Each structure stands twice: as structure tokens, then as C-alpha cells.
Amino acid sequence: MKTFKHVNAKTTAEACTIMEKYKGQAKLIAGGMDLVGSLKDEIMPDYPQMVVNIKTIPGLDYVREDAGVLKIGALTKLSDIASSDVLKKRYQSLQQAAHAVASPQIRNMATIGGNLCQNVRCWYYRSPNSLGGRVFCLRKGGDTCYAQNGDNRYHAILKGGPCFAVYPSDTAVALTALKAKIVTARPRGGRTIPIGKLYTQTGTILESDEMVKGIEIPKPKEGAQEKFIKFRLRSALDFAIVSVATVLVKEGEVCKEATIALGGVAPVPLRATKAEELIKGKPVNQEIVERVALTALEDAEPLSMNAYKVEIAKTCIKRAFLT
């Protein structure tokens, strides 16, 4: 690894002020699950001049309910979210998503803030500098997404382009279904961002001097049924080929409200809004769920090697509603 400066931040304001000073040449580190590997492999054209440790900021590790809102600090470890008694009663989809991330060892280090802000796992983007040189893809400021005409078996089938890398965060999918909001900090105040507006086709809308401080989730309606399903090649470690998070509110057997979020299929965690409208007001049975799955994937445009994802996504949606 190349030489860089390192500082232990004591407050979010201090961390953001340092980020502002370095004008995009500083990186935050918490659990380090994403950043350390990126630095070692030198995947980026510019190496950070400063690494800001935010684990030393007190008060950002919590899970609590407050006036009908679940609040989670950005430094809360995924293992704590996966074992939280609060989430066992409600917000089960987030608990299931946190438990689905990687391995116990990684969950004991990784924070939810880092999981939400991690970089994509596209093998062109992640190609180590030591293996013939890093790849200057579109996401790094180049003019080509090499996956579009290359090995794209794990890439986007929905809303792809200009970058076809899929966003890898499991917790982001569950939080999308739960209509969460992301609370940020900046040198002179922060903002609250609906999670559906946080992600773009090539990253997030976070500024270079901005960090995630916490998450706010509205309390699901009484009796809401939640599910997170992740399809991957190995039961541990792997990122999702496809993931689905659902929140279903029924009156008897009739759907009164539903949210469906898809992961592993698009550059962002994706709400299947047309499918949500289709199931609303209808009995939740095999016939309507088949139609919901078809509607959620009707706009899919698979690349040359990933059409298989369409049927997997349909199956995951059906399982989420019927099991």
C-alpha cells in the first residue's frame, strides 16, 4: 500500500471538515471491509491522501425506537443488527438482510453505514493494478462499460447503463422496501435523504465532504409481513445474484399495501412500483403473485450472459409472498 495520512476523528463535524479540506482526496474508514481491499489492490486511479477513521466517533453505534421511528447509528455493526431484539419484533427484513451479509467474521467488523456506501463488485471495476493494470472503466471516468459487451453474467438486467454494475448492499435493499431515510453530516449541517434518492447509476449523491450519520425507518403498519430473500451461489460470503425484500400489509387475505425492492438486478436498489400497484387490493394467492412477478421483470433487458437472472428474480418474488 502507498503512504497516506491517517487521523482518528472525534466528531462527525471534524471528519467532514477534513473531507472538505482534502477535496475528494480523503476516504472514511469504519469496519474497512471495502476500503482496505481497494487500497491494497490499487483499483482506483487516484490514491487517497488521507484516511479518516470514524470508529473513534462516540454515539454512532445504536439501535433504538423513538416516537414510532427506528433509528440506527451508522457505526452499528451488522452482527448487532442481525441479533437485535428490536428488529426481531418488527423490521425483520432488515434483520434478515444483515444476517445474509458475508460471514460472521465480516459482520462483526462491518458497519451498516459502510454497507450502504460500499463500492460495486464488478470485476472490471475491481481489477487489481497488479494484474496487468487497473481498468479505466466508465465508472472511473473512462468512456466504456466493459461489462456491456464483455463478461456480464452478474450484471444488471434492469435500468442498466451507462454503467451495468449492480449495487451490492443487502441492507440497502431491505431499507428500500422499508422506505428508510438516510441522515447525513456535513461541515455545516447535514440533510435527510429518502433512500430511493440516495443512489445513482454510478454511485451515490453524497458530496465529498458528506458522511452517513444514521438511518431512520418508519414503523411498519400493524401486522405487516416482511421478507428478505437472497439467491447466491454459496450460502456464505457471496454477494447476491438476486435479492428481494418485501413488506406486505393484508386485511384478511387481501393486500392493502405492499412494497417490493430488488437487489442484484440494477445499478441501484430498485422498487418494483408497477408490481406493487398490481397486487394492491387483491387477494394474495398463487395467480396474482405470478402476475406480480411477471410485472416486476417485464422491463428487463438482459445482457448477453445474464438472462438467467430474470427467472431467478421472479422466483424470489413469488417465494417472498407465498412462503
**Residue 162 domain-assigned (yes or no):** no
Q: Provide the grid cell at 131.
A: 494484474
pTM attached to this predicted model: 0.97
* Residue 76 to residue 212: CA distance in whole angstroms: 12
Got the DSSP string for 109-175? T-BHHHHHHPPP--TTTT--TTTTS----GGGT-S--TTSSS--TTS-SSS--S--PPP--HHHHHH
What domain range is 302 assigned to?
A: 225-322
Closest-CA residue to 174 (of 109, 106, 253, 78): 78
Count of domains forming the chain? 1
**Residue 118 domain-assigned (yes or no):** no
Q: What is the 3-state secondary structure (H, E, C) of 62-89?
A: CEEEECCEEEEECCCEHHHHHCCHHHHH
Q: What is the CATH number for 279?
A: 3.30.390.50
Q: Provide the grid cell at 173.
A: 435493499
**Residue 210 domain-assigned (yes or no):** no
Three-state DSSP at 192 gives strand
Surface-to-core class of residue 25, CB atoms within 10 Å of its CB (0-12 exposed, 13-18 middle, 19+ buried): middle
Residues 94 and 175 sit within 8 Å (Cβ to Cβ): yes
Surface-to-core class of residue 13, CB atoms within 10 Å of its CB (0-12 exposed, 13-18 middle, 19+ buried): middle
Q: Which residues contact 290 (CB under 8 A, 6 or more apart)?
A: 318
**Residue 214 domain-assigned (yes or no):** no
Number of residues that make up the chain? 323
**Residue 65 domain-assigned (yes or no):** no
Three-state DSSP at 105 gives helix
Q: Which tens digit of pLDDT belongs to each residue from 249-288? A: 999 999 999 999 999 999 999 999 999 999 999 999 999 9
**Residue 91 domain-assigned (yes or no):** no
**Residue 132 domain-assigned (yes or no):** no
* Residue 104 to residue 191: CA distance in whole angstroms: 32
* Residue 10 to residue 132: CA distance in whole angstroms: 40
Q: 225-259: buried (b, 16+ CB within 10 Å) or exposed (e) per residue?
A: bbbbbbbbeeeeeebbbbbbbbbbbeeeeebebbb
**Residue 318 domain-assigned (yes or no):** yes
Q: Which tens digit of pLDDT belongs to each residue from 101-120? A: 999 999 999 999 999 999 99
pLDDT in tens, the chain (323 residues): 789 999 999 999 999 999 999 999 999 999 999 999 999 999 998 999 999 999 999 999 999 999 999 999 999 999 999 999 999 989 999 999 999 999 999 999 999 999 999 999 999 999 999 999 999 999 998 999 999 999 999 999 999 999 999 999 999 999 999 999 999 999 999 999 999 999 999 999 999 999 999 999 999 999 999 999 999 998 888 999 999 999 999 999 999 999 999 999 999 999 999 999 999 999 999 999 999 999 999 999 999 999 999 999 999 999 999 99
* Residue 196 to residue 315: CA distance in whole angstroms: 24
Residue type present at position 91: Y
